[in-house]
Amino acid sequence: MGEGLAGDANPLARAAVGRALGMPLPTGGMLDNRPGVGLRPDGLPDMVWCAVDDQHEWTYQDKKHPPLPPYQIAKYPITYIQFQAFIDAADGWRNPEWWEGLAADEDDKQIREQYFKYWNHPRETVNWYQAVAFCRWLSAKLGHEIRLPTEQEWERAARGRDGLIYPYGNTFDAAKGNTRDTGIGQTSAVGIFPEGESPVGALDMSGNVWEWCLNEYRKPEITNISGTNNRVLRGGSWNFGQGDARAAYRNLSHPGFRDASVGFRWVCGVASHHLNR
């Protein structure tokens, strides 16, 4: 089930269907069985990747940028059920190994409840430290690196080679992403706006939740995990308007910040060929 999430032209109707399919079932899981939204049979997050591997110049902000090394970016933001696997795992968020080198204090490490409790919605109310710890845990489980995207990787996936204003084109359309203008009034199930697809095939890159990036805001060349300087947020969210939903818009926050409008997605290198779908 879940294939018909984008069948209704009315965004509010789509969102309602998404909520129904994302309700936690008494037996566990949810009705939404789309690839990349839930969990694998072994209980780890399922993943669908979008490859970015062409060797061409592209537009970053308003300037030409040399090609990036090949990588894959997740089709969707991390969902509530996927992050919950990290929380529930015996070797998950309680394991101090995943927090080594991070400047997180004890409050930063504490998990706060999801605000919109639908398994197929983005995991929000999550700070940058927790996103990094999650990626470290999953990397260890899979045997290769999973991490937050740099903002260059994020923007290349969102804008394509030609520097689109929005992932789907140069004219804002409230029916192609979950922003304040769309009127849903909360997060929505990931992937219910296929018309908002970016040039590489990624969804929800304009609206739904802000997404943490690896690098610092004022010194974007710094991508290490130490320090408490502000980190980059990209993509707009359900409670921000069209200006913030532009694919080139740079937002920032302290790495300990979390609220119902902030989530993340992951990237990995193309060498992980066994993850391609």
| Boundaries of domain holding 188 | 11-275
Place of tokens 């079932």: 25
Domain presence at residue 87: yes
Listed as ranges, residues in the chain with pLDDT below 50 are: 271-277
Domain presence at residue 5: no
Q: What is the CATH number of the domain that holds 78?
A: 3.90.1580.10
Q: What is the pLDDT of residue 272?
A: 38
Domain presence at residue 6: no
Specify the number of domains making up the chain.
1
pLDDT in tens, 91-111: 999 999 999 999 999 999 999
Indicate whether this model's pTM tops 0.85.
yes
Determine the angle formed by the axes of helices 80-88 and 128-142, rounding to 10 degrees: 70
Domain presence at residue 2: no
pLDDT in tens, 173-212: 999 999 999 999 999 999 999 999 999 999 999 999 999 9
Domain presence at residue 108: yes
Place of tokens 């929380």: 87
Domain presence at residue 182: yes
Name which of 202, 199, 205, 161 is nearest 66 in CA terms: 161
